[in-house]
Amino acid sequence: MRMGNRDRRSAPTVGACVVCGSTDTRVLSFTRLLQGERVTVCGSHKTAHHRSEMIARNVDELRRLTGDRRKAG
């Protein structure tokens, strides 16, 4: 799931992490969904996606795979 140099050079302008909404450009990156679509994510959610050992099919699945796993209480 690593971005090659070509991906970095041709990266479109980023907006916000599709999971948490972070707009801090210092932490934004990209991850790829199953069909090759690139979506903007923060570093934490990129790492969580990589560690999930699954490639999300869509943004909703990415949110489920990488969402906040801490339990209340």
pLDDT digits (tens, 9 = 90+) for 16-37: 999 999 999 999 999 999 999 9
- pLDDT score recorded for residue 73: 47
Of 69 and 23, the one with more pLDDT: 23
Please answer whether residues 44 and 1 qualify as being in contact, where contact means their C-beta atoms are separated by less than 8 angstroms: no
**% of the chain with per-residue pLDDT over 90:** 70
Residue 43 · residue 27 · CB < 8 Å = yes
Please tell me the pTM assigned to this model: 0.74
